[in-house]
Structure 1
Amino acid sequence: MPTKMVELIGLITDQLERDAEADLQTLIAPLSAAELARIIEALPGEARIPLWRQITVSLTGEVLLALHGDIRRALIGETDEAELIVSLSAMQMDELADLNEDLPISVVNAMVQAMDSQRRQRYRQVSQYPDDSAGGLMDVDATAVRADVTLKAVLRFLRRIRRREGELPEHLDSLMVVDRNNRYLGTLPLSQLVSHDADTSVAEVMVEGVQAITPLTPAAEVARRFEDEDLLSAPVVDERGYLLGRITVDDVIDVLRDEANREILGRAGLEQHPDLFAPLISSSYRRALWLGINLVTAFIAAWVIGLFEASIEKVVALAVLMPVVASMGGVAGSQTLTLVTRGLALDQVGRNNIWRLVRHELAIASLNGLLWALVVALIAIFWFGDGSLAAVFGIALLIVTLTGALVGSLLPALLKQLGIDPALAGGVVLTTATDAVGFFVFLGLATLWLL
C-alpha cells in the first residue's frame, strides 16, 4: 500500500479515536469509493462502523461493491434499508447483481419493485448469470444504434442521453450496431463517428471485426481476449446473436486483479479476499485445514527420515546436509510448477505439448542439477573431507532436482483434471514429493555406500 495511504489510515484512525467528525469528513471527502474500501479493510473491526457512518449515501453503494465477504455483509447489516435503496438505485445492473446475494431480501424486492419494466427485465437478465462469467460482467445498458441510420442521428441520440442522464455511459469508446431485431452486427467507434460526414450511414463506417462474446464465457477467458485483441469494450450476445450488453475494460481489470490475488493467496491456503482483522475463531478455523495438511506432509517426510535413523546416528554429516537436498528440489520444482500453472491458466499447455514441455523442463533440471551437484560435492569435500559423502550428496541433489521438475511439470495438469486448483494445492503436493524423494535417495545412498 502506498505510503500516502498508510499515513492517511493513521490520520483517520486518530480522528476516529478522538470522535472528530468534522476533521474526519475533511479527510475522506476527496477519496474515491475504492480508496475508502481499502481503508475500511485496513481498519480493525471496531473502527469500521464509525467510519462507514461518515460516508455519504451517494458513495456507499460503490464502496460496498469494492468490499468483499464478511466485511461487506457486516456493513450492510449496519445500514438502514432506506439508505441502501437510495444508494443502490443509481448503480448499473451488473454492479447491483454483484451485491444481490449479500443484500436483505426486503431491499432487493423494494428495488425491483421501484424499477420500470425495462430496467426490471435487464436486472433479472444479468442476475441469472454467474459472477465469474461474461454475463455476470456485462453492462446490460449497452448503447446500441441501428445500422441504417445516419451519423447525424447517432449524435442526436447521444445528446439526448447526455441531457437525460447528465453524462454518457462509462468507458464509452464505441457504440454497438444492431439490426431492426436487435441482432449484433458490429461496432461504431467514436473515432469513426466524429471523423466522417454527418450524412454517412452507420453501416458504411461500422467495424465488423470485433467478435461477440457469449454470456457463459468464463471471466478469465474474457480477460485473455481483451488482452490479446487490445479491446476497450466488447459486445455480449446470446446463442441467436441478439445483443445482451457489453463488457468494458474496467470489468476486465477487476478480473485480472482477482486472479492474481487468488493465485498468491491460494498458495498459502487463504481465501481470495481475506479480512486483515477477521474474528480470531473464524480466522483460526479457516487456516486450520491448511495447517493440518502441511502437518501430514511434514510427518511423511519425518517418516522417511526415520527409516534411516541408524544411518544418521553413525554419520552425523547426513543430518547437516539433508535440508540442502530437500530445499534445492523444492525450489527447482516450484519454478516449474509456477510456469506450468500459469501456462494452464492461459490455455498455453495442453495434451499436444505437455510431454514436450516435460522433456524441456527435465533438460533444464539436468543442466542445473549437474552444475549444482558438482558445486555441493566440492563443498562437501572441503567441509567434511569425505569423497564418498560428496558423491552421495551430489547424486542425491541431481535426482531430487529432476524429481522436482518432473512433479512440477505433471502435477498442475493432473490436479486440474481432478477439479483441484493447482495454484492452491500444487505447492503442498510438490513439497511432499521433493522432501520425501530427496530424503529417501540421500539417506538410502548413504546407507548403501557409506556404512
Structure 2
Amino acid sequence: MVEQDTQQHLQTVTDSLESGGTMQIKYLLNGALPAQDVARLLESSPPKERRLLWDLIEQKNEGEILQYLSEDISVQFLKEMDTEQLVAVTEQLESDDLADILQNLPETVVAEVLASMTAQDRSRVESLLSYPEDSAGGLMNTDTITVRPNITIDIAFRFLRRHASLPDMTDSLLVVSRSDRFLGTLPLTKLLVADPDASVREIMETETTVIEADAPASEVAQLFEKMDLVSAPVIDEASGKLLGRITIDDVVDVIRDEAEHSMLSMAGLDDDEDTFAPIMQTSKRRAVWLGINLITAFIASYVIGLFQNTIDQVVALAILMPIVASMGGIAGSQVLTLVIRGIALGHIGAANTRWLLNREIVVGFLNGILWAIVVGALTAYWFDNIEIAYIIAGALIINLLFAALVGTLLPITLKRLGIDPALAGNVILTTVTDVVGFLSFLGLATIFLI
C-alpha cells in the first residue's frame, strides 16, 4: 500500500512538472504529506526531478525530511548548504537525529554547527558523536525524564505536569541517584495507579533491562526483540551513570538497515546505494565488484584450461560442466544464507557449530545422491554413455559435499576474522564450488575416460 501511494504521488508530481505547475507540488511537499512520504518521494525520483523537488520544500521542513533520507541522498543536499542554513535546518531535530546527520559532514562544518548551539544542546550532541554510529551510544537519545527515588508519587506528578510534552515513546520514568547513577524505572502504568503518598523507591522496578553504551546496534535490536521492549536506558559501563535511552523506532531502523545491508552486500552494493544515482557514480561502485568477480572467473577458467586435452577428446564434458558448478553454487548459497541469518540472530556459536556442520554434510550427501541419480540417468540417456553418467554423478556428490562444508564454515570463519560474511561470502563460495565442480568432473573424466 505504501509503495502504491508513493507511485501515485510520484505520478502526480511528474505530471505537474511536465505541465509547469508547481502549486500542487508545493502543497504536497510542505504539509499534505508526512515527512517520511516526502523522503520516499525524493528517493523515488531521478536526480534532476529530485533537485527541483528539494528546491520547492520550505526550509522549516527540510530538517525533518533529511532524517528520513538515505545517507547517500541526504549528504548530497547537506554539502550544498552553508553553516547558517545547516543550523536553521537542524535546530528542530532531536539530538540523536542531529548526530546522525552531523556524522556525514566534514569536521570543520560540524565544529561550526556545534559552536552555534546552546551549551546544553552542544553537550548532548557531542556525547552522541563520541560513540560509533552503529553502537547503543550512537543510537540513544539524551532526551530523558529522570526522578529521584526519595520523592513521592505526588511530587513526580507535579514534575510531569511542568513538562509541555513527554519525549516520544516514553513508557516509564528513569530513576537515578544524585550522581546520575541509574537505579531503576518507574513505569507510567504503575505511576497512574500508585498511592500519591508512596515514594518512588517503593514502587520502582529495579530488575530492568539496561544497555551499555558500547553495545553493538545488532545486539540492541536482538535485545528489544527478545524482551519486547518499547524503550531501554543506556548506561556507562564503568560508572553506571545514565546516558540516555533507546526507543523502538530507532531499533526498527536498525533492523531495516541490517536487512538492506545483507541483501545489498551479497551483490557488492553499498547500504545507502541510491537507486537513481548518477551514471558515473553507479558505474564506479559496480566496477570494483565486477573486477573482483572477474578474478574469480579467471581462477575457474584456469582450472578448466588444465583439462583442455580431455575436453577436446570428449566434447560432452563441455556441455555438462555448467551443471556440476551450478548445482554446487545453489546448494552452497542455501547453506551460506541460512548460516549468515543464524549468526545475525545470535543462534550460532561454538557450542552448536559442530552439530550444524554435521547436519549440513549429511544433507549435502543425501541431496548429492538424489540428484546424482537424476542427472546420471539423464546423461546416460542423452549421450548414450554410461561412463560419463557415472562421472557426473560422482562429481555432483563431491561438489554438494564441499558446498555444505564451505557454506557452513566460511561465514563463521569470516565473522571471527572481523569480515562481513554477507559481503565476502558469496564471492568465495562461488569460486570454491566452481573450482571444485570443474576439478572433480574433469579430473574424474581424465582418470576414467582418457
Supply the distance in 2 between the matched residues of 1:441 and 1:427 (Cα, whole angstroms): 21
Amino acid of the structure 1 residue aligned with 2:305: G
Aligned length: 447
Contact map agreement 1:265 1:272 (CA 8 A) in 2 = yes
Matches of residues 396-415 of structure 1 in structure 2 within 5 Å?
Answer: 396-415=395-414
Amino acid of the structure 2 residue aligned with 1:63: I
Supply the distance in 2 between the matched residues of 1:92 and 1:328 (Cα, whole angstroms): 51
Amino acid of the structure 2 residue aligned with 1:15: S
Contact map agreement 2:59 2:89 (CA 8 A) in 1 = yes
Matches of residues 129-140 of structure 1 in structure 2 within 5 Å?
Answer: 129-140=131-142
1:346 corresponding residue in structure 2: 345
Matches of residues 12-27 of structure 1 in structure 2 within 5 Å?
Answer: 12-27=13-28
Alignment partner of 2:142: what SS?
coil
Contact map agreement 1:16 1:51 (CA 8 A) in 2 = no
Alignment partner of 1:66: what SS?
coil
Supply the distance in 1 between the matched residues of 2:175 and 2:384 (Cα, whole angstroms): 79
Supply the distance in 2 between the matched residues of 1:337 and 1:407 (Cα, whole angstroms): 8
The C-alpha deviation readout for 1:7-42, integer Å capped at 9, x for no partner, is: 211221222333322111233332222221221122
1:194 corresponding residue in structure 2: 192
2:224 corresponding residue in structure 1: 226
Amino acid of the structure 2 residue aligned with 1:355: R
How far 1:180 sits from its partner (Å)?
Answer: 2.4
Supply the distance in 2 between the matched residues of 1:89 and 1:387 (Cα, whole angstroms): 77
Contact map agreement 2:234 2:244 (CA 8 A) in 1 = yes
Describe the shift of the 1:299–1:153 C-alpha distance in structure 2 as closer, same or farther (beyond 3 A): same
Equivalent of 2:68 in 59, 66, 87: 66
How far 1:222 sits from its partner (Å)?
Answer: 0.8
Contact map agreement 1:235 1:245 (CA 8 A) in 2 = yes
Supply the distance in 2 between the matched residues of 1:86 and 1:115 (Cα, whole angstroms): 11
Amino acid of the structure 1 residue aligned with 2:135: S
The C-alpha deviation readout for 1:363-422, integer Å capped at 9, x for no partner, is: 111111111111111222222222222111111111100010111111112222333211
Matches of residues 129-208 of structure 1 in structure 2 within 5 Å?
Answer: 129-162=131-164, 167-208=165-206
Supply the distance in 1 between the matched residues of 2:267 and 2:315 (Cα, whole angstroms): 33
1:301 corresponding residue in structure 2: 300
How far 1:332 sits from its partner (Å)?
Answer: 0.8
How far 1:110 sits from its partner (Å)?
Answer: 5.6
- More off after superposition, 440-449 vs 399-408: 440-449
2:358 corresponding residue in structure 1: 359
Contact map agreement 1:137 1:251 (CA 8 A) in 2 = yes
- More off after superposition, 201-210 vs 438-447: 201-210
The C-alpha deviation readout for 1:89-125, integer Å capped at 9, x for no partner, is: 1211111111113447676456534543333222221
How far 1:170 sits from its partner (Å)?
Answer: 0.6
Supply the distance in 2 between the matched residues of 1:434 and 1:397 (Cα, whole angstroms): 11
2:444 corresponding residue in structure 1: 445
Describe the shift of the 1:322–1:106 C-alpha distance in structure 2 as closer, same or farther (beyond 3 A): closer
Contact map agreement 2:234 2:242 (CA 8 A) in 1 = yes
Supply the distance in 2 between the matched residues of 1:377 and 1:390 (Cα, whole angstroms): 4
Supply the distance in 1 between the matched residues of 2:341 and 2:24 (Cα, whole angstroms): 47
The C-alpha deviation readout for 1:187-229, integer Å capped at 9, x for no partner, is: 1111111122222222222122223211111111111111111
Compute the TM-score of the two structures, normalised by the length of structure 2.
0.94
The sequence identity of aligned pairs, in percent, is: 48
Alignment partner of 1:432: what SS?
helix
How far 1:87 sits from its partner (Å)?
Answer: 2.8
Contact map agreement 2:72 2:273 (CA 8 A) in 1 = no
Amino acid of the structure 1 residue aligned with 2:394: I
Contact map agreement 2:224 2:248 (CA 8 A) in 1 = yes
Supply the distance in 1 between the matched residues of 2:155 and 2:95 (Cα, whole angstroms): 27
Contact map agreement 1:361 1:405 (CA 8 A) in 2 = yes
Matches of residues 257-276 of structure 1 in structure 2 within 5 Å?
Answer: 257-276=256-275
Compute the TM-score of the two structures, normalised by the length of structure 1.
0.94
- More off after superposition, 23-32 vs 187-196: 23-32
How far 1:80 sits from its partner (Å)?
Answer: 5.9
Alignment partner of 1:271: what SS?
coil
Describe the shift of the 1:433–1:108 C-alpha distance in structure 2 as closer, same or farther (beyond 3 A): closer
Supply the distance in 2 between the matched residues of 1:187 and 1:114 (Cα, whole angstroms): 34
2:420 corresponding residue in structure 1: 421
Supply the distance in 2 between the matched residues of 1:56 and 1:153 (Cα, whole angstroms): 42
Supply the distance in 2 between the matched residues of 1:394 and 1:23 (Cα, whole angstroms): 66
Supply the distance in 2 between the matched residues of 1:104 and 1:160 (Cα, whole angstroms): 39
Matches of residues 38-117 of structure 1 in structure 2 within 5 Å?
Answer: 38-79=40-81, 81-103=83-105, 108-109=110-111, 111-117=113-119
Contact map agreement 2:310 2:442 (CA 8 A) in 1 = yes
Amino acid of the structure 2 residue aligned with 1:11: T
Cα RMSD for the two superposed structures? 1.9
1:386 corresponding residue in structure 2: 385
Supply the distance in 2 between the matched residues of 1:410 and 1:295 (Cα, whole angstroms): 24
2:241 corresponding residue in structure 1: 242
1:211 corresponding residue in structure 2: 209
Contact map agreement 1:85 1:107 (CA 8 A) in 2 = no
Alignment partner of 1:382: what SS?
helix
Supply the distance in 2 between the matched residues of 1:380 and 1:240 (Cα, whole angstroms): 70
Supply the distance in 2 between the matched residues of 1:376 and 1:273 (Cα, whole angstroms): 42
Supply the distance in 2 between the matched residues of 1:258 and 1:376 (Cα, whole angstroms): 41
Supply the distance in 2 between the matched residues of 1:53 and 1:107 (Cα, whole angstroms): 22
Alignment partner of 1:424: what SS?
helix
Unaligned ranges ≥5, structure 1? none
Supply the distance in 2 between the matched residues of 1:244 and 1:139 (Cα, whole angstroms): 9
How far 1:149 sits from its partner (Å)?
Answer: 1.7
Contact map agreement 1:84 1:107 (CA 8 A) in 2 = no
How far 1:321 sits from its partner (Å)?
Answer: 1.5
Alignment partner of 1:344: what SS?
helix
How far 1:243 sits from its partner (Å)?
Answer: 0.7
